[in-house]
Amino acid sequence: MGSHGSHLEREPELDLILQETGFSKANLNRLHHRFRYLDKNNKGFLSRTDLHNIKELEMNPLGDRIINSFFPDGGECVDFRGFVWVLAHFRPSQEEDPTVQDPQKPEPLNSRNNKLRFAFQLYDLDCDGKISMKEMLQVLRLMVGVEVTEEQLEVIAARTVQEADEDGDGSVSFVEFTKSLEKMNIEHQMSIRILK
Ligand code: CA
């Protein structure tokens, strides 16, 4: 049993992955195990079907949309680097001291801003930079139970957009989205305990 030469060490872009995701080597090692476990036929990549076997995503009302973010170009497979790149947005961020952030380095994927960006694109399906009333309604439909009627949902969607919509264009921009979530602990909301 070669305990030193782990599968992770054989990842061609390991240094780059460590840098861009901020995951520790121990965490990456665990995720690599998870990746290989999910990769049923040893394809070297994961398909949508493989990702549906992640319990944390299957239970999430926006799980399908999160799964879509693993395939930004509409492709059908995601390699280890792409897999952990998405998961890095869900890495808990409170463990780091932001004051030691190196200004030369890009903003970490799990910063509040990047978590918000990630959440925003889950709403903004047509990628026009705004959450329309229709897009808000679609998300609400996924999130709430069957006991809420379509009419009630439309009222809630309209109110949610109205409350955030500062410039009155009938949709929610990223800035407006950020402001409306100012008091919400997004760092906590968007930390999935996927690393156990
Ligand atoms: Ca939109």
Minimum mean pLDDT among 86-90, 103-107, 175-179: which range? 103-107
Q: How far is the CA of 49 from the centre of ligand 1 (A)?
A: 27
Which superfamily, per CATH, for 1-90? EF-hand (1.10.238.10)
Residues 187 and 111: beta-carbon distance below 8 Å: no
Q: How far is the CA of 89 from the centre of ligand 1 (A)?
A: 21
Pick the CATH number of 108-196 from 1.10.3720.10, 2.60.40.290, 1.10.760.10, 1.10.238.10: 1.10.238.10
Average pLDDT value over all residues in the chain: 87
Q: How far is the CA of 16 from the centre of ligand 1 (A)?
A: 32
Mean pLDDT of 124-149: 91
CA gap 10, 121 in Å, rounded: 33
DSSP E strands, the chain: 130-131, 172-173
Q: How far is the CA of 125 from the centre of ligand 1 (A)?
A: 6
Q: How far is the CA of 12 from the centre of ligand 1 (A)?
A: 37
Decide if pLDDT at 126 tops 90.
yes
Task: Give percent above pLDDT 90 in the chain.
Answer: 64
